[in-house]
């Protein structure tokens, strides 16, 4: 049975697995070590190392880095195989000609092109020059000291004896993933093969939620890809696998340039994006028919339901949309005069659009002369532009307003 973590890992790439053709990632990730190796075959369709690498890389960066191990990646490879099998059967059944498939492909095309435009056009335009990167590095240089650290996994055991036995098994060729899953007492990490990530001497280990200062000296004394001597902490006895080590000190420009570039690019792209989008909207003459949109959203709602929605809304334009539907669709109902009055009141008091408010209040007087709100509409026509007078005429409570106040 797959664990909860396993299902999360699969879910992270399920939208991408099985979507590309043969060797789809070769042009983008041709430099992946061992990427040309065929690691699986589904009928005549080959899956290369670069295909798996690319699929995970575009789906979830944390999955790509923090959970990069044979156990997790094998699960995702199996998912790719499963989806290729099902996709092949779907093609044989003619589902590629199904209208639903064609519609969803168009939606996927728009989403992919949107993401590619941001990444390949907006982000490239926003990218800083080499000179700008070096200037940013010099300005922030003093904050670029790093602590000595190591990227490790661990197996947590009850006693020194168990830890020493486990270490001997590992040195004799036992698989780390299997022993971590079988022996570790740490329920938080055993299903991910004991991954702790980067640790320092005194910082909280994110996975454990607490510092474990005893681990770092032992990790730093162990060679990369090696298995440590057993080390005791308040949790028990640990055996560590060391994946990488970093000495403490000042980060060089080469160390941080990619991160500085990414941060500066993202900041500039966020600033550029609204203006670029507005230019595109104007060039394409984008129009949103608010009345039709509101009608679509509310469907067959009755006048009272529409009035209640308007009263609850905090967006004045949305309010007016609901009120307008009452006037248009239920003009002879019991809420039409109230809705017409509230259109004017919203324009006047929330939007300060007195010309539109005047048209709405005159419609109350002309269309609903017998309404108790007709006098209130006349009062608003006479006084709404005078900011020294409280704009809540007597009788307005009938439109769903707070208790009436007399104006002067």
pLDDT at position 60 is 67
Q: How confident is the model at residue 384 (pLDDT cuts 50, 70, 90)?
A: very high
Residue 125 lies in a domain: no
Same domain, 167 and 230: yes
Which whole-number Å values give the CA distances from 245 to 49, 139, 337, in the listed order?
Answer: 26, 27, 75
Q: Give 153's strand partners.
A: 195, 241
Residue 289 lies in a domain: no
Angle subtended at Cα 150 by Cα 147 and Cα 156, rounded to the nearest 5 degrees? 130
Domain with 56 in it: 4-97
pLDDT at position 360 is 96
pLDDT at position 392 is 61
- Phi/psi of residue 155, nearest 5 degrees: -120, 125
Same domain, 78 and 168: no
Checking if the pLDDT of 408 tops 50, the result is no
- Phi/psi of residue 121, nearest 5 degrees: -115, -65
pLDDT at position 73 is 84
Q: Read out DSSP for 269-311?
A: HHHHHHHHHHHHHHHTT----HHHHHHHHHTT--HHHHHHHHH
pLDDT at position 146 is 84
pLDDT at position 367 is 95
Element (H, E) at 200: none
Which pair of structure tokens corresponds to residue 189?
């990490």
Helices (H) and strands (E) counted in the chain, each on its own, are: 17, 8
What is the CATH number for 213?
A: 3.10.50.40
Same domain, 229 and 310: no
**Is the entire prediction scored with pTM above 0.85?**
no
Q: Read out DSSP for 143-178?
A: G-EE--EEEEEEEEESSHHHHHHHHHHHHTT--HHH
Average pLDDT over residues 274-282: 94
Residue 78 lies in a domain: yes
Do 74 and 2 form a contact (C-beta atoms < 8 A)?
Answer: no
Domain end among 249, 279, 309: 249
pLDDT at position 156 is 96
Average pLDDT over residues 72-82: 89
Per residue in 303-328, pLDDT (tens digit) is 999 999 999 999 999 999 999 999 99
Domain end among 214, 249, 284: 249
Place of tokens 């420009």: 253
Residue 374 lies in a domain: yes
Do 155 and 166 form a contact (C-beta atoms < 8 A)?
Answer: yes
pLDDT at position 93 is 96
pLDDT at position 397 is 47
Q: By three-state DSSP, how is residue 386 classified?
A: coil
pLDDT at position 395 is 53
Per residue in 6-47, pLDDT (tens digit) is 444 444 444 444 344 444 444 445 567 778 889 999 988 899
Element (H, E) at 212: none
Cβ neighbours, 10 Å, residue 207: 17
> Average pLDDT of the chain?
86
Task: Of 244, 242, 192, 243, give the one whose Cα is nearest residue 71.
Answer: 192
Residue 219 lies in a domain: yes
What is the CATH number for 323?
A: 1.25.40
Domain end among 65, 97, 129: 97
Task: Of 260, 214, 217, 256, give the one whose Cα is nearest residue 235.
Answer: 214
Q: How confident is the model at residue 282 (pLDDT cuts 50, 70, 90)?
A: very high
| Residue 334 CA, distance from chain mean position | 45
Residue 128 lies in a domain: no
Round to whole Å and give the CA distance between 143 and 367.
70
Same domain, 319 and 395: yes
Please give the share of the chain, as a percent, with pLDDT higher than 90.
Answer: 63
Q: How confident is the model at residue 299 (pLDDT cuts 50, 70, 90)?
A: confident
Q: What percentage of the chain's residues is helix, strand, coil (to nearest 5)?
A: 55, 10, 35
Q: CA dihedral defined by 184, 189, 193, 199, rounded to 10 degrees?
A: -110
Residue 286 lies in a domain: no
pLDDT at position 406 is 36
Do 307 and 326 form a contact (C-beta atoms < 8 A)?
Answer: yes
Give me the number of domains the chain comprises: 3
Cβ neighbours, 10 Å, residue 71: 18
Which pair of structure tokens corresponds to residue 37?
């190796």
Average pLDDT over residues 243-263: 90
Residue 110 lies in a domain: no
Q: How confident is the model at residue 341 (pLDDT cuts 50, 70, 90)?
A: very high
Helix boundaries (H) for 14-98: 49-59, 61-66, 70-92
Average pLDDT over residues 71-75: 84
Q: What is the 3-state secondary structure (H, E, C) of 78-115?
A: HHHHHHHHHHHHHHHCCHHHCHHHHHHHHHHHHHHHHH
């Amino acid at each position: 049975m797959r664990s909860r973590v396993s299902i999360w890992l699969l879910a992270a790439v399920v939208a991408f697995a099985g979507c590309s053709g043969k060797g789809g990632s070769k042009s983008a990730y041709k430099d992946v070590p061992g990427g040309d190796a065929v690691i699986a075959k589904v009928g005549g369709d080959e899956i290369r190392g670069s295909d798996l690498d690319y699929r995970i890389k575009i789906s979830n960066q944390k999955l790509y880095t923090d959970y990069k191990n044979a156990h997790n990646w094998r699960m995702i490879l199996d998912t790719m195989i499963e989806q290729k099998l099902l996709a092949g059967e779907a093609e044989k059944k003619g589902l590629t000609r199904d209208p639903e498939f064609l519609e969803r492909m168009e939606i996927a095309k728009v989403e992919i092109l949107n993401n590619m435009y941001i990444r390949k056009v907006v982000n490239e335009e926003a990218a800083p020059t080499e000179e700008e990167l070096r200037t940013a590095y010099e300005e922030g240089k003093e904050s670029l000291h790093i602590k000595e650290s190591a990227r490790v996994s661990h197996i947590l055991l009850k006693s020194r004896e168990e830890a020493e036995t486990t270490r001997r098994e590992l040195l004799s060729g036992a698989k780390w993933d299997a022993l971590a899953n079988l022996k570790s007492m740490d329920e938080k990490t055993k299903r991910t093969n004991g991954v702790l990530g980067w640790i320092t001497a005194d910082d909280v280990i994110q996975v454990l939620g607490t510092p474990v200062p005893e681990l770092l000296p032992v990790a730093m004394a162990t060679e990369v890809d090696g298995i440590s001597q057993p080390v005791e902490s308040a949790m028990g006895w640990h055996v560590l696998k060391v994946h990488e080590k970093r000495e403490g000190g000042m980060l060089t420009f080469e160390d941080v340039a990619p991160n500085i570039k990414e941060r500066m690019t993202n900041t500039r792209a966020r600033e550029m994006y609204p203006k670029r989008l507005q230019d595109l909207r104007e060039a394409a003459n984008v129009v949103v028919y608010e009345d039709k949109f509101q009608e679509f959203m509310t469907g067959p709602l009755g006048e009272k339901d529409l009035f209640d929605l308007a009263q609850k809304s905090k967006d004045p334009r949305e309010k007016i949309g609901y009120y307008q539907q009452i006037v248009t669709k239920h003009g002879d109902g019991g809420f039409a005069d109230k809705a017409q009055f509230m259109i004017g009141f919203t324009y006047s008091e929330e939007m300060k659009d007195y010309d539109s408010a005047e048209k709405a209040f005159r419609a109350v007087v002309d269309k609903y002369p017998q309404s108790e709100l007709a006098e209130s509409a006349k009062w608003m026509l006479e006084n709404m532009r005078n900011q020294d007078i409280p704009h809540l005429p007597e009788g307005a409570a009938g439109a769903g307003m707070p208790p009436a106040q007399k104006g002067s």
